[in-house]
């Protein structure tokens, strides 16, 4: 079959079970040895083990069923064990009046390189995608850290806000807390609603500090703060207004109700004593309507301040309502003057 | 498993040839499907009820039923066999004819459900393709099997890899391979790779002593995928087995030499149906 030798590719003829009948010249160039060496050998010997399995599990079943296979990708090994990638076509035919198979091989170095490049490029793309996924995960982690920090800062801010509205000694609110409470009430109440403020000043507090020391003075203030808190309703607010001055904010309380609270404070104060001596306070009250608008707080404080002054002037240990003459006020006790 | 019998019949593309007689069930090998039995089945058409099927992932089976976890181990394929028998309400008397890797699958099924099977015929079996020197030579080194997977990649699985979108995580859309040539019996890359790995990395040697059903081992005289020593090994470790070596090269005697296979099966059925048959090895020419 010299015709086979003229064809420009490796060709192999095998019998029905794959025994080599004839390799052409190009085939021998590819795999080495001479034709006699290969004759009657199994064509499987041309392939590495993986190729043999592939032949048995894929190529032969198809060949036996369909009588041909096309474009099978395999590696062929030569005498030196070097592997050459090949594309294989095969078709059943006749050789010397016997059934046979014609195997045609196309050396596929280029395709192999091309595929390797393709695989490499794809692997690189996959790595990039993985890196992006990784980077994204890191970004998300950083983002959630930032969120956590923002949250912590928010908490700290709230704590600061509380601190800025409170008095460190007594834990009561300060003027700012009072202002906030009054504004909030104003925004939620009708214009004809009434509210009251009680301004409470400890009588002779300077003497307490001088005689018993500032620690004792502080103790009295803290005790007074607790007592004031205890005498308030749920919507009322006690704040430390100045050194020994407290203010009670009584939303929706009219003059009568303010008077009742004032009496309760005078009673309560008697339980706060210094070395067995109860202290006393002077109280000024003021009651105004929400119609006073933004000036409400200032007016309430001015009026109650005047009333406290009047209570002091009238002999202390008493309450003066800003609308009443000091003489109307009853004197609670006589211990302090 | 939540499947009705009809679902299973459809899932595994079950076909029945012949409507009376004992059950002959055929289990195809890796890379193949039930069509590979067409040269054997005519011989039993009048005497047997023959059950043909494709494993999930092979042939015309329902690809959507494929589950990587289940089919990563040969037991998953054995479950296919048992579920098909359940669907057909067959509970005993089955002669299971297995090709190649299906031999291991069939043995696993017979261990799970001995009463279902009367006997097994194993064509070109190999319980472990890897060499484990010095006691066992399955025929291949690890690198050979790795090479095989890459060869499969290059022949058809790979194209799906090239075409598949780059994704985060390992998954392949089976639709990608849908348009590829169907000349190989299974063209779905994920399925083919899963089956290949389950097949070629399997080691079922430890299960052999647990087999209680009689087996006919049909070995090819020169088979790359099952060296003669493997046949001997199986014969030694499968109690009640018969070893016959077919004068047939290659790995697919039921396609290349169907007459020899038919003859061997018929003789074995006749022989084991008669009382007092014994374990032996025979060289058939």
Domain containing residue B21: CATH number: 3.40.50.1820
Residues in chain A, overall count? 337
A82: tokens are: 């070097």
pLDDT per residue rounded down to tens, chain B (285 residues): 456 788 999 999 999 998 889 999 999 988 788 988 999 999 999 999 999 999 998 888 988 888 889 999 999 999 999 999 999 999 999 999 999 999 999 999 999 999 999 999 999 999 999 999 998 999 999 999 888 888 887 776 555 555 544 443 333 333 333 333 343 445 566 788 888 899 999 999 999 999 999 999 999 998 888 999 999 999 999 998 999 999 988 888 898 899 999 999 999 999 876 554 444 444 443
Diameter of chain B measured on Cα atoms: 63
Q: Are residues B14 and B36 in the same domain?
A: yes
Cβ-based contacts of A111 with chain B (< 8 Å): none
Domain boundary among B176, B198, B220: B198
Q: Are residues B95 and B22 in the same domain?
A: yes
Domain boundary among B172, B198, B224: B198
d(CA A76, CA A30): 9
Just list the catalytic residues of B. 100, 223, 251
Candidates A51, A53, A119; nearest CB to B225: A53
Cβ-based contacts of A20 with chain B (< 8 Å): none
Instruction: Identify the residue whose tokens are 């494929």.
Output: B66
The answer as to whether B192 is a domain residue is: yes
**A46 DSSP assignment:** G
Q: Are residues B274 and B229 in the same domain?
A: yes
The answer as to whether B132 is a domain residue is: no
B106: tokens are: 């069939």
Beta-carbon separation of A115 and B200 below 8 A: no
Angle between helices A296-313 and A175-188 (to 10 degrees): 120
Cβ-based contacts of A70 with chain B (< 8 Å): 183
If one counts the domains in chain B, the total is 2
d(CA A171, CA B6): 79
B55 neighbors B77 (Cβ within 8 angstroms):
yes
The answer as to whether B61 is a domain residue is: yes
Angle at the Cα of B197 (from B143 to B195), degrees rounded to 5?
Answer: 145
Angle between helices A255-269 and A214-230 (to 10 degrees): 140
**Chain B: nearest CA to A184, how far in angstroms?**
55
Beta-carbon separation of A130 and B154 below 8 A: no
A226 neighbors A237 (Cβ within 8 angstroms):
no
d(CA A104, CA A113): 21
Instruction: Give the tens place of pLDDT for each residue, A149-194.
Output: 999 998 898 888 777 888 888 889 888 889 989 999 999 888 888 9
Instruction: Give the tens place of pLDDT for each residue, A34-52.
Output: 999 999 999 999 999 999 9
Q: Are residues B36 and B63 in the same domain?
A: yes
The answer as to whether B177 is a domain residue is: yes
Q: Establish if B152 touches chain A: CB-CB under 8 angstroms.
A: yes
Domain range for B20: 5-127+205-283
Query: Taking CA atoms, what residue in B is nearest to A131?
Result: B168
Q: Are residues B19 and B70 in the same domain?
A: yes
> Is the reported ipTM for this assembly greater than 0.85?
no
Beta-carbon separation of B30 and A57 below 8 A: yes
Q: Establish if A41 touches chain B: CB-CB under 8 angstroms.
A: no
Tell me the domains of chain A and their CATH numbers.
2-107 (3.30.450.20), 175-328 (3.30.70.270)
- Beta carbons within 10 angstroms of residue B19's beta carbon: 9
A235 neighbors A171 (Cβ within 8 angstroms):
no
Query: Taking CA atoms, what residue in A is nearest to B164?
Result: A122
Cβ-based contacts of B252 with chain A (< 8 Å): 56, 60-61, 64
Q: Are residues B268 and B162 in the same domain?
A: no
Closest CA to B265 of B14, B32, B51, B48: B48
Beta-carbon separation of B252 and A55 below 8 A: no
Q: Are residues B236 and B168 in the same domain?
A: no
Q: Are residues B60 and B101 in the same domain?
A: yes
Q: Are residues B242 and B187 in the same domain?
A: no
The answer as to whether B135 is a domain residue is: no
A174-182 CB contacts, 8 Å cutoff, 24+ apart: A174/A239, A174/A240, A174/A241, A175/A239, A175/A241, A177/A237, A177/A239, A178/A237, A178/A239, A178/A241, A178/A247, A178/A249, A178/A297, A179/A297, A181/A237, A181/A249, A181/A251, A182/A249, A182/A296, A182/A297, A182/A300
Q: Are residues B254 and B191 in the same domain?
A: no
Domain boundary among B198, B218, B233: B198
Beta-carbon separation of A48 and B144 below 8 A: yes
Reduced to 3 states, what is the DSSP secondary structure of residue A220?
A: helix
Q: Are residues B15 and B116 in the same domain?
A: yes
The answer as to whether B225 is a domain residue is: yes
**Chain B: nearest CA to A3, how far in angstroms?**
30
The answer as to whether B20 is a domain residue is: yes
Q: Are residues B185 and B222 in the same domain?
A: no
Q: Establish if A74 touches chain B: CB-CB under 8 angstroms.
A: yes
Query: Which of A57, A68, A113, A131 to mutate: most B Cβ within 10 Å?
Result: A57
């Amino acid at each position: 079959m010299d015709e086979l030798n003229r064809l420009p590719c490796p060709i192999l003829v095998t019998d029905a079970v794959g025994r080599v009948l004839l390799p052409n010249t190009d085939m021998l160039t590819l795999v080495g040895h001479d034709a006699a060496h290969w004759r009657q050998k199994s064509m499987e010997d041309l392939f590495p083990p993986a190729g043999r399995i592939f032949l048995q599990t894929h190529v032969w079943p198809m060949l036996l069923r369909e009588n041909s296979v096309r474009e099978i990708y395999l590696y062929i090994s030569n005498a030196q064990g070097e592997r050459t990638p090949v594309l294989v076509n095969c078709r059943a035919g006749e050789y010397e009046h016997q059934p046979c198979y014609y195997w045609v091989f196309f050396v596929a170095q280029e395709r192999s390189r091309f595929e390797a490049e393709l695989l490499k490029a794809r692997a690189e793309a996959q790595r990039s995608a993985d890196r992006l996924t990784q980077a994204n995960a890191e970004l998300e982690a950083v983002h959630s850290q930032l969120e956590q920090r923002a949250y912590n800062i928010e908490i700290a801010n709230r704590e600061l806000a509380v601190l800025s509205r409170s008095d460190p000694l007594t834990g009561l609110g300060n003027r700012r807390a009072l202002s906030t409470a009054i504004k909030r009430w104003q925004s939620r109440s009708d214009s004809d609603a009434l509210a009251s403020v009680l301004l409470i000043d400890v009588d002779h507090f300077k003497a307490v500090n001088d005689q018993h020391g500032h620690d004792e003075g502080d103790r009295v203030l803290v005790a007074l703060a607790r007592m004031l808190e205890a005498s308030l309703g749920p919507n009322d607010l006690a704040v430390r207004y100045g050194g020994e001055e407290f203010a009670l904010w009584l939303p929706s309380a009219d003059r009568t109700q303010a008077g009742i609270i004032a009496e309760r404070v005078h009673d309560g104060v008697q339980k706060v004593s210094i070395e067995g001596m109860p202290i006393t306070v002077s109280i000024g009250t003021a009651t105004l309507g929400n119609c006073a608008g933004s000036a409400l707080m200032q007016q309430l404080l001015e009026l109650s301040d005047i009333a406290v002054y009047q209570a002091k002037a009238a002999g202390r240990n008493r309450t003066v309502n800003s609308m009443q003459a000091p003489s109307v006020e009853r004197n609670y006790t006589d211990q302090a003057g | 498993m939540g499947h009705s019998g009809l679902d299973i019949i459809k899932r595994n593309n079950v076909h029945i040839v012949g409507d009376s007689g004992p059950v002959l069930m055929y289990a195809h090998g890796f890379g193949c499907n039930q069509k590979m039995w067409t040269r054997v089945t005519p011989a039993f058409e009048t005497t047997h009820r023959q059950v043909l099927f494709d494993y999930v992932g092979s042939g015309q089976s329902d690809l959507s039923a494929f589950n990587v976890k289940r089919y990563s181990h040969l037991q998953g394929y054995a479950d296919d066999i048992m579920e098909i028998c359940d669907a057909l309400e067959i509970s005993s008397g089955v002669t299971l004819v297995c090709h190649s890797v299906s031999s291991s699958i069939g043995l696993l099924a017979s261990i799970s459900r001995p009463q279902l099977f009367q006997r097994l015929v194993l064509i070109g079996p190999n319980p472990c393709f890897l060499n484990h020197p010095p006691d066992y030579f399955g025929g291949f080194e690890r690198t050979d099997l790795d090479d095989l997977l890459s060869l499969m990649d290059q022949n058809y699985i790979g194209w799906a890899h090239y075409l598949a979108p780059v994704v985060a995580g390992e998954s392949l859309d089976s639709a990608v391979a849908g348009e590829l040539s169907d000349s190989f019996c299974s063209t779905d890359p994920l399925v083919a790779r899963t089956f290949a790995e389950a097949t070629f990395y399997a080691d079922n040697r430890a299960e052999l002593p647990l087999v209680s059903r009689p087996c006919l081992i049909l070995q090819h005289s020169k088979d790359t995928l099952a060296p003669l020593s493997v046949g001997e090994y199986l014969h030694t470790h499968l109690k009640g087995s018969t070893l016959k070596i077919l004068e047939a090269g290659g790995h697919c005697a039921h396609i290349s030499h169907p007459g020899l296979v038919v003859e061997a099966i018929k003789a074995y059925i006749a022989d084991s149906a008669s009382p007092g048959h014994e374990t032996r090895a025979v060289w058939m020419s």
